[in-house]
């Protein structure tokens, strides 16, 4: 059965009415994966048997009239950086090629509690470092809209899986844009929640002061459902905040009266593709027609965000990735002379070029004599970036911008040019540095048929507002109803 394009809400309705069973839905998506993933290569592994077993169990519970979770029977694809007990979690790295976690991440526990079906593990840039999924040690994921283009990264597999109709939703992680940029490239909805909104327990750490887990879906309501399921305090992540989780899915259809939208003048400068700019301007007109007020704001320090981010994230990565020493778990070199040689060979063999580049940059930035000049300075500018937002949000409710300066670039186009690749993150990185939430949703297509993403950023814990504001736009447009042409499952 083809379920392509069905939204999570539509599937839930059909499940509740008894028109569809969890097994039929799961089998439908497994068929879609079988038909399409040979080309898209979004999945690193597919949990066929386990998913069908889980779905069968959910159906029998429903038939007996026993309680089922809020996502009962809906498949979720999970980025291969989030630990699931008994499921290989590789971070797309040779270092963790055979790593099977003995425990579930908090978000996986939450998904199991809500009876979501864990359908498979998605490809990514190694240890979430990259913007194209080309840094995976195993395969290059293709953009479902044009297979010679990148799906974005680092959660490219999760975005492509939803865009290609191989899962109604998925999880990714966003340290500097890794949910939002691929959502924009693939024409799906993606949310980076506020720092502290979702527990990172069981998320393999890249840069701990920036990392957040968030949802992808093919409409705003689906993203609301999934965020609601995973958000909330978890004592195992001390940075997760003890604040009630709003009923995002129940309120998402309520439009916001008197919405004040900020447009940052620094966001519309050289380097922004004209078609992307035109799509954002057209989206602002849609909001104006809906009664919103659009005002100019200023984020004067945003021009430093890429420089600050690549010092902070590399510094934290150099520390976090020190654990891959060949002793505790993961890859270990087969032959070595002594302990130091074992560390060097293990890390030399296990890590790819981009991960090595970050570890070297970060170690340098943190070393005695350079720490003050680089790391400490970056933290000070980070603070100024946050203050810019605080100031802007005194007069507006959300800030609208592109998600990336261009639509999806070609596979191979930027991979040998790290600086251009890093500049891809210009619109997304500041929210991570400031700890703020952002949502990206489809806002049109380029003349060559590639999706264009619109980003809405808000103050801390304003996810409900972002979802409602995003939904106002979505209801007026049909971009999210368009799907790439791929073999049907
Ligand atoms: N592209 C950014 C980087 O390479 C963002 C990565 C992410 O958000 N995980 O670091």
Domain residue extents for the chain: 8-260+467-481
Tokens of 361: 């940059």
| CA–centroid distance, residue 176 to ligand 1 (Å) | 5
Ligand 1 atom 4 nearest Cα? 130
* Closest to 483 measured CA to CA, from 144, 243, 179: 144
Q: Show which residues are catalytic.
A: 79, 154, 178
Instruction: Report pLDDT for 489.
Output: 53
Residue 232: partners with Cβ closer than 8 Å, 6 or more residues away? 110, 198, 199, 240, 245
Q: Compute the distance between CA of residue 365 and CA of residue 263 in angstroms, rounded to an integer.
A: 34
**Best of 425, 431, 432 for a ligand 1 pocket test (most atoms within 8 Å of beta carbon):** 425
Are residues 64 and 99 in contact, defined by beta-carbon separation less than 8 angstroms? no
Task: Report pLDDT for 100.
Answer: 97
Residue 241's SS3 state is coil
Cα(37) to ligand 1 centroid in Å equals 24
Q: Which of 91, 131, 152 to mutate to test the pocket of ligand 1 (most atoms within 8 A of CB)?
A: 131
**Distance in Å, CA 424 to ligand 1 centroid:** 10
Structure confidence at residue 271 (pLDDT)? 86
Supply the pLDDT for residue 488.
Answer: 62
CA 1 to ligand 1 centroid distance, Å: 36
Pick the closest to residue 221 from 11, 418, 454 (CA basis).
11
* Separation between Cα atoms, residue 357 and residue 383, nearest integer Å: 26
pLDDT at 92: 98
pLDDT confidence of residue 1: 52
As a whole number of angstroms, the distance between CA 393 and CA 370 comes to 35
| CA-to-CA separations, 244 to 24, 256, 461, in angstroms, rounded | 35, 21, 10
Pocket around ligand 1 at a 6 A CB cut-off: 128-131, 154, 173-178, 206, 313, 425
Ligand 1 centroid to Cα of residue 143, in Å, is 18
Q: How far is the CA of 296 from the centre of ligand 1 (A)?
A: 28
Tokens of 41: 């290569």
Q: Taking a C-beta distance cutoff of 8 angstroms, is the pair 101, 84 a contact?
A: yes
pLDDT the model gives residue 267: 93
The CA–CA distances, whole Å, from 155 to 134, 350, 371 equal 11, 21, 31
Distance 150 CA to ligand 1 centre (A): 15
Mean pLDDT split into 10-residue runs, the chain, 489 residues: 83 95 97 97 98 98 96 98 98 98 98 98 98 98 98 98 97 98 98 98 98 98 98 98 98 97 93 95 98 98 96 98 94 97 98 98 96 96 98 98 97 90 92 98 98 98 98 96 80
Q: Quick one: which of 16, 12, 46 has its CA closest to 166?
A: 46
Whole-number Å distance between alpha carbons of 213 and 107? 8
* Angle at which helices 305-320 and 353-366 cross, to 10°: 100
- Asked if residues 223 and 198 have their Cβ atoms less than 8 Å apart, the reply is no
Instruction: Flag whether the pTM goes above 0.75.
Output: yes
Residue 474's φ and ψ, nearest 5 degrees, are -60, -40
Atom of ligand 1 nearest to the CA of 309: 10
Tell which atom from ligand 1 comes closest to the C-alpha of 207.
Answer: 9
Pairing relationship of beta strands 75-79 and 43-46 according to DSSP bridges: unpaired
The atom of ligand 1 lying closest to the CA of 177 is 8
The CATH code that applies to domain 8-260+467-481 is 3.90.1300.10
pLDDT attached to residue 486: 82
Atom of ligand 1 nearest to the CA of 179: 8
**Tokens matching residue 220:** 């705003």
Confidence (pLDDT) at 269: 84
Please give the number of the atom of ligand 1 that sits closest to the Cα of 128. Answer: 9
């Amino acid at each position: 059965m083809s379920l392509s394009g069905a939204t999570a809400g539509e599937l839930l309705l059909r499940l509740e009415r008894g028109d569809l069973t969890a097994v039929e839905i799961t089998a439908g998506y497994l068929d879609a994966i079988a038909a399409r993933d040979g080309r898209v290569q979004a999945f690193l592994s597919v949990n066929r048997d386990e998913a069908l077993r889980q779905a069968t169990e959910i159906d029998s519970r429903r038939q007996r009239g026993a309680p089922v979770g809020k996502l009962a029977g809906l498949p979720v694809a999970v980025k291969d950086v989030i630990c699931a007990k008994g499921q290989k979690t590789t971070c797309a790295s040779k270092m963790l090629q055979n790593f099977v976690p003995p425990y579930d991440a908090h978000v996986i526990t939450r998904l199991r509690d809500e009876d979501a079906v864990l359908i498979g593990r998605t490809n990514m840039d190694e240890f979430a470092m990259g913007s194209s999924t080309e840094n995976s040690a195993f395969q290059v994921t293709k953009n479902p809209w044009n297979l010679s283009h990148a799906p974005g990264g680092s959660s490219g597999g999760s975005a492509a899986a939803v865009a290609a109709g191989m899962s109604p939703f998925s999880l990714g992680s966003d340290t500097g844009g890794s949910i939002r940029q691929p959502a924009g490239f693939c024409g799906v909805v993606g949310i980076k929640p506020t720092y502290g909104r979702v527990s990172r327990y069981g998320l393999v750490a890249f840069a701990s002061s920036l990392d957040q887990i968030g949802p992808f879906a093919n409409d705003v309501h689906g993203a609301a459902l999934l965020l609601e399921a995973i958000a909330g305090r978890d004592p195992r992540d001390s940075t997760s905040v003890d604040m009630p989780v709003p009923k995002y899915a129940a309120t998402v259809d309520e439009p916001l009266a008197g919405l004040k939208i900020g447009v940052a003048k620094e966001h519309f400068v050289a380097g922004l593709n004209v078609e992307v700019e035109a799509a954002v301007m057209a989206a602002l007109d849609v909001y104006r027609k809906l009664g919103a007020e659009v005002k100019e704001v200023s984020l004067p320090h945003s021009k430093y965000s890429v420089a600050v981010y690549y010092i902070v994230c590399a510094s934290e990565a150099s520390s976090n990735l020190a654990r891959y020493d060949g002793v505790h778990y993961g890859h270990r070199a087969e032959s070595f002379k002594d302990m130091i040689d074992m560390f060097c060979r293990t890390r030399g063999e296990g890590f790819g070029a981009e991960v090595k580049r970050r570890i070297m940059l970060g170690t340098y930035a943190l070393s005695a004599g350079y720490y003050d000049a680089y790391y400490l300075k970056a933290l000070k500018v980070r603070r100024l970036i946050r203050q810019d937002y605080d100031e802007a949000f005194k007069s507006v409710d959300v800030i609208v911008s592109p998600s990336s300066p261009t639509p999806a670039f070609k596979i191979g186009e930027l991979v040998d040019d790290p600086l251009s690749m890093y500049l891809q993150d210009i619109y997304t990185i500041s929210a991570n540095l400031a700890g703020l939430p952002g949502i990206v949703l489809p806002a049109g297509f380029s003349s060559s048929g590639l999706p264009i993403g619109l980003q809405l950023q808000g103050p801390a814990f304003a996810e409900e507002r972002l979802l409602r504001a995003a939904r106002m736009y979505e209801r007026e447009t049909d971009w999210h109803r368009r799907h790439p042409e791929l073999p049907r499952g």
